[in-house]
Amino acid sequence: MTDEELSRHIGRGWWPLAKSVFEVLDLHDFQVAQIKEKFGYLRIYVDAPEDATLGIKASIHAVLLAAETASGRICEECGAEGSHVLIRGHWWKTRCEECKDL
């Protein structure tokens, strides 16, 4: 996925995290079905190849879960240390102090 494609789905602060997941997915021929922010966390949904074993699927699930968990501590906008904040009283986002009002 190119930087331009990523910019349509998630903030620049999460790009390194997403790209590290893509490297693992590529090793096992998994394809990204969807990438987005949901409730302040990075969500990556994948399509598994038909020949993927249950063990590989479980490993990929663990990688996706680890990335989702890590995204809750990384500002989606700039990549600095962040936390969950409520934006405009409606949306949960992961932001640092400097980006919390964006």
pLDDT digits (tens, 9 = 90+) for 41-77: 999 999 999 999 999 999 999 999 999 999 999 999 9
Q: What span, in angstroms and rounded, lies between the C-alpha atoms of 101 and 85? A: 9
Query: How far, CA to CA in Å, does 10 sit from each of 5, 16, 86?
Result: 9, 11, 17
1 — pLDDT class (breaks 50, 70, 90) = confident
Cβ atoms < 10 Å from Cβ of 55: 8
Q: For the residues 80-102, what does the mean pLDDT come to?
A: 91
pLDDT score of 13: 97
Does this model's pTM top 0.85? My answer is yes
Asked if residue 3 has pLDDT above 90, the reply is: no
Asked if residue 102 has pLDDT above 80, the reply is: no
Enumerate the β-bridge partners of residue 15: none
Cβ atoms < 10 Å from Cβ of 85: 17
DSSP tag of 3 = H
